[in-house]
Structure 1
Amino acid sequence: MQFQLPLIYPYSFELTTKRLRTFEKTSFVADGDKLSRTIHGSRGPLLCTVGPPAGEKALRVEIEGNLAEGEAEELKRKVARMFSTQVDLTPFYEQMRDHPVLAPVIAEREGLHFVLEPSLYECVVKTIIGQQLNVSFAATLIQRFQELAGSKAVFRGREWVLFPTPEQVARLEYEELQALQFNRRKAEYIIDFSRKVVNGELPLEALWSLSDKEVLHTLLPIRGIGRWTVECVLLFGLGRPDLLPAADIGLRNALKRVYGLDHQPGEEEVRQWGESWAPYRSYVTFYLWDSLDNVK
């Protein structure tokens, strides 16, 4: 199955996929200018490959695997959501164009969009795994976790591993994750969360229709999920545009550098600055995170 996804410009495929090519926790495999990863289809594993726009100003997408009848449109919507193809950032750029400090940071990254995880479950579990860990070790644990619990499929003559389903993880014992160097509490968090999803206590798809505050109220009572985890899910799972993780160290470090401060700004200071960024605080945050990397 091949199709194209029209883009709303400004859209930079190069900037948007840079993180997918360089981030240690990426689930994508780069092949030239294309990126591939496995996703779950209704009839089993699928391989999704996304390439840069050609003359039609549309992403080129190829799906390999056993598709069910009528599944094509659902997959188009999923990939379009993942790559933010219908997000119009023009109002954001117009609003921030004259900002005395942030305008250059944003202008240098024009066309940079979020790439969302294919499922909210994958986003939550990856975020829990990454709690209080450096990126490299978190990537190692994610890989081990997938190898242990995920299905495998062969595409293009090589074996690919899928991110585990809630059902696959719910069947695990805590000790199996501990054997992979997960600490006991994190093993419990991941498996218990998966069991809540499987038994219907936590209908994740219902989160799409909730406000940011309602998502916080829904997820925060779950053991192992704190505010930082929910904020990551709102950003990289749900793609909410106006979230400000004011306590995030990376954001505060970026602001310290961009503003030339001699101190790291506190959470309240960040929130005050963020008032003028609404309703695009997620994008300002994302661009500031990107500014910590010297490669644009």
Structure 2
Amino acid sequence: MLFAREPRFAAIEAQAGPLPWRTRPRGFPGLLRTICGQQISNQAAGAIWRRLSALPGALTPEGLLALDDAALCGAAGLSRPKAAHARALARACLEGALDFAALARAEDEAAVAMLCALRGLGPWTADVHLLFAEQRPDIFPSGDIALANATQHLFALPARPAPRALAAMAAAWSPARSLAARLLWHHWRHVTGRPLVEDP
């Protein structure tokens, strides 16, 4: 359906190779991984995640709250704001403010709102988590700079589209916007010559 609506998507794999189908764990670890990737490069996010996930207990809410700044900011490399966001997420899970079972049942807009209600979680974080961890089929992180750059290049636009314009453009790719996002990230990696890493 996506390729019929927009044939330029169909040509991406011929140039960039097979699309890697990346996923993340559902629940706390997957959302914590997405927090690590906020506003930094893929390579930096991957390095931080490897150090964080190696800390004993870090991938459970209880264990993460037991870690001090020396561990989260020093050993793992999280910024102090991200460490605060990670702790807020852990507390929300323990206190029942975030119910991942309810999140899985919620419609897309409601799920985004549930995540954005938490400290430090904005639309980008919510969308990326729902796309990769929940594997929802019609999510498009319109605030992602790489997606905007890829769209400008693929469609030969005169300027990089702003988030609102990109969201409006992506509406035409529903109900397969998640696939469109994956293909655009794949296209941009190919165009820029960047290595394939776990995070978008």
TM category, shorter: 0.7 to 0.9
Distance 1:238 1:137 in 2: 24
Give the distance between the partners of 1:258 and 1:278, measured in 2 at CA.
Answer: 18
2:60 corresponds in structure 1 to 165
Aligned pairs for 1:233-272 (under 5 A) are 233-272=129-168
Q: Quick check: 2:5–2:173 contact (8 Å CA) kept in 1? A: no
Q: Distance in 2 between matches of 1:187 and 1:115?
A: 25
Instruction: Indicate yes or no: 2:72 matched with 1:177.
Output: yes
Question: Counterpart in 1 of 2:117?
Answer: 221
Distance 2:21 2:8 in 1: 22
Tell me the amino acid that sits aligned with residue 190 of structure 1.
A
Q: In the superposition, relative to structure 1, how do residues 262 and 178 fare at CA in structure 2: closer, same or farther (>3 Å)?
A: same
In the alignment, is the contact (CA less than 8 A) between 1:170 and 1:198 conserved in 2?
A: no
Larger radius of gyration: 1
CA contact 1:174–1:191 (8 Å) conserved in 2: no
Contact 1:216 1:227 in 2 (8 A): yes
- Structure 1 position 128 matched with structure 2 position 35: yes
In 2 relative to 1, CA 202–271 (structure 1 residues): closer, same or farther, beyond 3 Å?
closer
Higher relative contact order (CA 8 A, sep 6+): 2
1:170 & 1:130 partners in 2: Cα distance? 20
Identity of aligned residues (%): 28
- Richer in helix (by share): 2
The AA in structure 2 aligned to 1:275 is A
TM-superposed CA distance for 1:132, in Å, is: 1.4
Question: Residues 172 and 275 (structure 1 numbering): CA distance in 2 closer, same or farther, change over 3 Å?
Answer: same
Q: Deviations over 1:123-150 (max 9, x none)?
A: 1101111111222222221122122234
Q: Which blocks of at least 5 consecutive residues in structure 1 are unaligned?
A: 1-91, 151-162
Classify the secondary structure of the residue corresponding to 1:148. Answer: coil
* 1:56-75 Cα deviation digits (max 9, x unpaired): xxxxxxxxxxxxxxxxxxxx
Q: TM-score, normalised by structure 2?
A: 0.83
Change (3 A) 1:103 1:293: same
**Where does 1:98-117 land on structure 2 (aligned, <5 Å)?**
99-105=6-12, 112=19, 114-117=21-24
Contact 2:136 / 2:178 at 8 angstroms: preserved in 1? yes
Pick closer, same or farther for the CA change 1:183–1:271 going to 2, 3 Å: closer
Return 5+ residue gaps in structure 2 as ranges: none
CA RMSD of aligned residues (A): 2.5
Question: Is it true that 1:148 corresponds to 2:55 in the alignment?
Answer: yes
More strand by share: 1
Amino acid at match of 1:122: P
Shift of 1:98: 5.8
